[in-house]
Amino acid sequence: MTEVPHGYESAPWQLLWRGLAVDQLQRTESTFALSNGHIGMRGTLEEAEPRGLPGTYLNGFYEEHPLPYAEAGYGYPEAGQTVVNVTDGKIIRLLVEDEPLDMRYGHATAHHRVLDFRSGTLRRETEWTSPTGRRVRVSSERLVSFTQRAVAAIRYEVEPLDDDVQLVAQSDLLANEPIEADTGDPRVAAALEAPLQSEYMKAEGYRAVLVHRTKRSGLRVAAAMDHELDTCDGLRTDIAVEEDLARLTVAVDVPKGRKLRLTKFLGYGWSAQRSIPALRAQVDAALAGALQTGWEGLLAEQREFLDHFWSTADVEIDGDPELQQALRFALFHVLQAGARGESRAIPGKGLTGPGYDGHAFWDSDSFVLQTLTYTLPDTARDALRWRHSTLDKAKARAHQLGLRGAAFPWRSINGDECSAYWPAGTAAFHVNADIADAVARYLAATHDRDFERQHGTELLVETARLWMSLGHHDPHGGFRIDGVTGPDEYSAVVDNNVYTNLMAQRNLQEAADSCERHPDLAAMLDVGTEEISAWREAARKMLVPYDELLEVHPQSERFTEHARWDFANTSSSDYPLLLHFPYFDLYRKQVVKQADLVLAMHLRGDAFSLEQKQRNFVYYEALTVRDSSLSAATQAVLAAECGHLDLAYDYLGEAALIDLHDLHHNVRNGLHMASLAGAWLALVAGFGGMRDHGGNLTFRPRLPSAVDRIAFRMCFLGSQLAVEIDQDKAGYRIVHGDPLDIRHYDTPVTVAEDTVTLPVPAFAPLPRPTQPPGREPARRKGGGHAPGPIWPGA
């Protein structure tokens, strides 16, 4: 067959891939995934094959499996959780005369897919010649509805291009789709091989429903489909159902100039408690709603939802179309991950793939919720409600660990700890401060007192209690937190990690503040004045180590006395280091996987002077290898603050393009939500200099030399704010809502509907910090395509 060109094409509001490229299918299934935060569907072709990795996910739906240990230990989690590929409703197979449409055979003269950030749909158009020479055009468009969270829909059209052809379409619901397990453990593979047991099936007319239940976790899922058909006369349809398959078959002769058009409506639901009839009723009702709205209605609702989102969240960067596309791609996927999660977690990969087993980590709280707090704050609230809903489990875990308060899991779907390697799991207690920080940020940005009273204060109190039992006052007068792991996963089980201690300090202060705002709540939570005083005292005495000799903050105590990693003798093929060196060696040396002290300087920027930030930034730049996708965005923010604008621009590019350039070689298993959210932060907190310490919204905008103008929207205290920045000035205006008091550099300003324009101070460029050899970010030249992946061999 003739090769059509392939690769992403530049477009401001779309992701477009032309050509098939079977070997690239799996990664584009991730980037083309649709989701509303409740249902996720990977961007597979309707005809199901060729395929990379099919995947339909429901947020919170998982199967359990035993966690094996060669050497067991007290408190090790016994059960793992893994996101399950549920009943696949995306499949519409097609026979053209008697040839199955399979793009590996025959001849595709045109083929492209488009993810549209404003319509919220995935479109596909293919012109295909069958091996026996029949030509057809296949067009499809699909959506996972932001407005009807249980609903997805697909419009599928086939048009003969030459003669009359017989078309047979088979629209499926397929459960227990065989997929390759990504695990070496035969017990885990067995648990996931065919996780669903049939409980109920029914098919009638154009509608079918399948109900299944997982074998170990006991969760029930219902999937239903209904169809509308629009085609020629002589149509013959048949519907059939068996345990793992429901199928509507449509056969029709279509003359040239006419079409077969099939509209498929899907309804999904799951529950740990509800009965088969209840769940069946739920998906039937979802379908009824979808049919009543109709395809065009669903499209219109989708567009309206997105218009509103972009009016609050859009970013613009002039003269760099690739980055412009990447930034909107990033925001669109962050929205998809969080939009309708509704008291479920936001997994590290959203619902775009099975990576990390579908688990949620601290980076959702620290990165994704930051971006959502300022763009669609209700979604941040809902994700924090999920944390609150798991508080009993977190308290039980703390109790098991001999601690007070709540110890939230390092990785989980249902709130139970699933991390089987405690030095980089349980020991990373900072997740608790990250949750508290997300609560405090949300409260500061919304003044949502209902949330505070129902969820926020309790989250702050129980995490504060954890720190009190984890730390202790030492004889020298400091409050120490020993033997924990900070964000950097190339160090573990250290004393007085600066990030952890500073975040714990904020946690303690915010808990005290919240309790003093709500004495009645405090009383209900058994918080007395003595406990509040103890929190404030621990916060005041919190130990923050400092290396007087080097005049930098050690990431954790003694860090700067450790041997430096031998970067000179580390080749580019040795990265990521964790695949080529043992943990013990990484842990004992000065080498940083991801921003840790540098992240502390962002989130707790109020605890450092600018001079300290500048010295620290240069010191850690030389040690940070960015083997984690969580790093570049934070480095961008601090590079900008410290005056390294061009470097910040490079890091912004890396954060935003992480998945489109597949910089970590694993986008096939899903997108990196925290990095995508971080791209927004890199722009807004980096070049916009946005901070909100203590609830005071401040901007210190500065642009890199290659960028003439950026603009972004955000919301704060219910108002939509538009910010526009060029090389020498910045303009602020309220798009919607009340005026806002902000600071531009050190100047207080009240912003209302009229644009306030203020000068950007001039600054002297600083020497560019150095990174470990071979780990420099790709240089971003404004206005064109990036020079490609940062790592050789990518």
Q: Kindly tell me which of 401 and 673 has the beta carbon lying closer to a second copy.
A: 401
Q: Kindly tell me which of 426 and 446 has the beta carbon lying closer to a second copy.
A: 426
Q: Kindly tell me which of 13 and 575 has the beta carbon lying closer to a second copy.
A: 575
For residue 536, the SS3 value is helix
Residues from 159 through 178 that contact a second copy (CB under 8 A): none
CB of 485 to a second copy, least distance (A): 9
Q: Kindly tell me which of 80 and 338 has the beta carbon lying closer to a second copy.
A: 80
CA 163 to chain centre: 47
CB of 73 to a second copy, least distance (A): 6
Q: What is the C-alpha R_g of the chain?
A: 27
Q: Kindly tell me which of 11 and 493 has the beta carbon lying closer to a second copy.
A: 493
Asked if residues 153 and 145 have their Cβ atoms less than 8 Å apart, the reply is yes
* 489 catalytic per annotation: yes
CB of 51 to a second copy, least distance (A): 27
What would the DSSP string read from start to end of 614-650?
HHHHHHHHTTB---STTSHHHHHHHHHHHT-HHHHHH
Q: Site map for a second copy, 672-711, x if CB under 8 A?
A: ----------------------------------------
CB of 76 to a second copy, least distance (A): 8
Q: Which of 64, 489, 621, 641 is catalytic?
A: 489
Report the C-alpha gap between 788 and 657 in whole angstroms: 10
Q: Kindly tell me which of 106 and 347 has the beta carbon lying closer to a second copy.
A: 347
From residue 676, how far is each of 162, 335, 337, 654 by CA, in Å?
A: 45, 10, 11, 10
Instruction: For residue 88, give the DSSP letter.
Output: B
Residue 401 touches a second copy, criterion: CB under 8 A: yes
Report the C-alpha gap between 341 and 490 in whole angstroms: 32
Q: Site map for a second copy, 57-76, x if CB under 8 A?
A: ----------xxxxxxxxx-
Q: Kindly tell me which of 562 and 743 has the beta carbon lying closer to a second copy.
A: 562
Report the C-alpha gap between 32 and 49 in whole angstroms: 16
Residues from 554 through 573 that contact a second copy (CB under 8 A): 557-558, 561-563
CB of 359 to a second copy, least distance (A): 12
Residue 185 touches a second copy, criterion: CB under 8 A: yes
CB neighbour list of residue 782: distance below 8 Å, 6 or more residues apart: 319, 320, 649, 704, 706, 707
From residue 348, how far is each of 334, 366, 596 by CA, in Å?
A: 11, 11, 18
How many CA atoms lie less than 13 Å away from 61 in the CB half-sphere?
30
Residue 718 touches a second copy, criterion: CB under 8 A: no
CB of 250 to a second copy, least distance (A): 46
Q: Kindly tell me which of 78 and 318 has the beta carbon lying closer to a second copy.
A: 78
- Helix 377-389, helix 457-470: angle, nearest 10: 60
Residue 507: Cβ within 10 Å count: 29
Residue 784 touches a second copy, criterion: CB under 8 A: no
Residue 476 touches a second copy, criterion: CB under 8 A: yes
Residue 426 touches a second copy, criterion: CB under 8 A: yes
Asked if residues 760 and 729 have their Cβ atoms less than 8 Å apart, the reply is yes
- Dihedral pair phi/psi, residue 285, rounded to 5°: -65, -40
CB of 581 to a second copy, least distance (A): 6
Residue 548 touches a second copy, criterion: CB under 8 A: no
Q: Site map for a second copy, 576-615, x if CB under 8 A?
A: --xxxxxxxx-xxx--------------------------
543: alpha, beta or left, given left = phi > 0 and alpha = psi -120 to 50? beta
Report how many residues bind a second copy under the rule CB under 8 A: 53
First to last CA, the chain: 27
Report the C-alpha gap between 378 and 387 in whole angstroms: 14
Residue 477 touches a second copy, criterion: CB under 8 A: no
Among 100, 294, 483, 737, binds a second copy (CB under 8 A): 483
Catalytic residues: 489
The residues binding a second copy (CB under 8 A) are 67-75, 80, 184-187, 400-403, 419-423, 426-427, 472, 474-476, 480, 482-484, 492-493, 495, 549, 557-558, 561-563, 578-585, 587-589
